[in-house]
Amino acid sequence: MASPGRPKNPPTPKKMLKEVLPVDEIFTEDELRLYNDLVDVYFADFDAEDLTSSDMDDILDLAKNRVLEFRLLKGSKGDVDKQLDVAAACEKLGKKNEKIKESLSTRRKDRYNPNEFKGFSIVDLAVAFNNEKRAALKEKVDKLKQEEEEMLKKREEYEGNRYDADVKERSFEDD
């Protein structure tokens, strides 16, 4: 018996639009590829956890309308009479897409919290950058000091060639 209520792990919005909805039944293989690419592009503008069902519907409609527009244009290629009919349909689709984009944009602005970064200024950014840079430089200096200590330790017993038989003692008075 299925449990009532919302499923424990619902599909992600992207999976919903690409795999769960039967878009493969309405689009050809090329159109499906275009649809999936458009969904990816549109989703890049949003955080998946911020999406509402209205956003998903709008993204679906945007991608679907764009594919249908290309289908109409492709079908009218080379036929002037068809192109006139298609131009009107494409114009209607374009107007619908503009309304959808405005709706998405408005909802995104509504979710923006202006108080989230209140009191945050360029000085804060500069200080944060300076602290990060200072920490990176300190880390580099520490690493170089450690390498120097290791090298000096390796060379502790090194005496050089000053005791070799062929080394002549040099006096600085000759110069």
Mean pLDDT, range 98-104, rounded to an integer? 87
Whether residues 81 and 147 share a domain: the answer is no
- Give CB contacts under 8 A, 24+ apart, made by 165-171: none
Per this entry, what is the length of the chain?
Answer: 175
Does a structural domain hold residue 169? no
Residue 172 has pLDDT above 70, yes or no: no
Mapping DSSP to helix (H, G, I), strand (E, B) and coil, where does residue 31 land?
helix
Lowest mean pLDDT among 29-43, 98-112, 146-160: 98-112
Contact, 62 vs 100, CB < 8 A? yes
Task: Give the model confidence (pLDDT) of 41-75 as tens digits.
Answer: 888 877 777 777 788 888 888 989 999 998 888 88
Task: Give the model confidence (pLDDT) of 135-152 as tens digits.
Answer: 899 999 999 999 999 988
Q: Which domain holds residue 147?
A: 121-157
Does a structural domain hold residue 133? yes
Quote the pTM value: 0.54
Whether residues 107 and 127 share a domain: the answer is no
Whether residues 30 and 71 share a domain: the answer is yes
* pLDDT value, residue 170: 61
